[in-house]
């Protein structure tokens, strides 16, 4: 093959390759590049946003703080932080700030336990058939009856707990490199 032909073929090859790359890059939007960015203003904006987000999380998810401090090393500072976070959490609970997270967890937990049968009932695809109770299996507490008084300690223990996953879950410890799953 002559030099000219070889050169032409090379040129064509390069063009084809570039066309292929362009085609493959369609829909592959690169990150925006703004030359006139107000960096100082945007830095302040993000810093403020991070602080607001942090305050929001500390208020509405104070249980997360308690769990985080309990995972800390056994030091004087760690113990102080545990006490402080528990006090903070108790305060948030009294102010009902933790209700949102608890209710979302409750809803998700209910969704997880929903069966196909429940769904059929919800969408009116199957009749609600409850077996009639046997004569000697009368309900101990009718729905309308007043609840039995609960001991103070029991009230503590029956508080809704955060959902626990079915399988093993690793904590966010420094040495958590063993994979949970692949």
Partner 1 sequence: MLFPTLDFALFFMVVFAVSWELRNRQDARKVFLLAASYFFYGYWDWRFTALLAASSLVNYAAGRMIGVSHDGRDRKIYLGVAVVLNLAILGFFKYYGFFLDSLATLLASAGLERDLPFLEIILPVGISFFTFQGISYVVDVYRREVEAVDSPVDVFLYISFFPQLVAGPIVRAADFLPQLRAEPRLSRSLVSLGILLILVGLFKKMVIANYLATGLVDQVFFDPAMYAGPDLALAIYAYAVQIYCDFSGYSDIAIGVAALLGYRFKWNFNQPYRAASLQEFWRRWHISLSEWLRDYLYKPLGGSRGSAAATSRNLFLTMLLGGIWHGAAWTFVIWGIIHGTALVVERYAFAFQRSPATLPALAVSGPGYGSPAYAPVEQPVKRHMGPLGRAVGIFVTFHVVCLAWIFFRAENLRFALDYLRGFLDWDQPVQFAQPFLVMLVAFSLAAHFLPGNLVQRTSRLLEPVGPLGLGVLLGTGILLIEAIAPEGVAPFIYFQF
Ranges within 18-37 binding partner 1 (CB under 8 A): 19-21, 23-24, 27-35, 37
Based on CB atoms, which residue is closest to partner 1, 41 or 131?
A: 41
Q: Hey, which residues between 112 and 151 contact partner 1 (CB under 8 A)?
A: 112, 114-116, 118-119
Q: Scanning the structure block, which residue is given the tokens 């203003």?
A: 41
Shortest distance (Å) from residue 135 CB to partner 1? 33
Scanning 58-66, 85-93, 137-145, 148-156 for contacts with partner 1 by CB under 8 A, the matching segment is 58-66
Asked if 10 is part of the footprint of partner 1 (rule: CB under 8 A), the reply reads no
Based on CB atoms, which residue is closest to partner 1, 33 or 134?
A: 33
Based on CB atoms, which residue is closest to partner 1, 49 or 83?
A: 49
Asked if 55 is part of the footprint of partner 1 (rule: CB under 8 A), the reply reads yes
Based on CB atoms, which residue is closest to partner 1, 90 or 108?
A: 108
Neighbour-count burial of 101, counting CB atoms closer than 10 A to its CB (0-12 exposed, 13-18 middle, 19+ buried): middle
Asked if 162 is part of the footprint of partner 1 (rule: CB under 8 A), the reply reads yes
**Alpha-carbon separation of residue 107 from 67, 112, 114, 162, 165 (angstroms):** 22, 9, 11, 12, 15
Asked if 84 is part of the footprint of partner 1 (rule: CB under 8 A), the reply reads no
Overall residue count recorded for the chain in this entry: 182
Tokens of 53: 């987000």
Neighbour-count burial of 166, counting CB atoms closer than 10 A to its CB (0-12 exposed, 13-18 middle, 19+ buried): exposed
Neighbour-count burial of 85, counting CB atoms closer than 10 A to its CB (0-12 exposed, 13-18 middle, 19+ buried): buried
Cα separation of 164 and 179, whole Å? Answer: 19
Asked if 5 is part of the footprint of partner 1 (rule: CB under 8 A), the reply reads no
SS3 46: helix
Asked if 52 is part of the footprint of partner 1 (rule: CB under 8 A), the reply reads yes
Asked if 104 is part of the footprint of partner 1 (rule: CB under 8 A), the reply reads yes
The neighbour count for residue 50, using CB atoms within 10 Å, is 10
């Amino acid at each position: 093959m002559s030099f000219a032909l070889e050169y032409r073929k090379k040129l064509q090859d390069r063009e084809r390759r570039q066309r292929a790359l362009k085609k493959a890059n369609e829909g592959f939007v690169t990150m925006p590049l703004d030359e006139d960015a107000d960096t100082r203003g945007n830095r302040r904006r993000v810093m403020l946003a991070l602080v607001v987000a942090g305050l929001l999380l500390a208020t509405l998810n104070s249980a997360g703080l308690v769990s985080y401090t309990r995972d800390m090393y056994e030091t004087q500072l760690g113990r102080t932080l545990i006490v402080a976070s528990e006090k903070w959490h108790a305060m948030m609970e009294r102010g009902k700030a933790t209700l949102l997270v608890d209710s979302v967890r409750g809803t998700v937990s209910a969704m997880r336990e929903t069966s196909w049968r429940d769904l059929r009932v919800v969408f009116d695809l199957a009749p609600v058939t409850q077996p009639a109770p046997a004569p000697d299996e009368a309900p101990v507490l009718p729905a309308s009856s007043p609840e039995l008084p609960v001991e103070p300690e029991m009230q503590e223990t029956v508080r809704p707990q955060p959902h626990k996953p079915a399988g093993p879950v690793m904590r966010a410890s420094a040495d958590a490199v063993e994979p949970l799953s692949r």
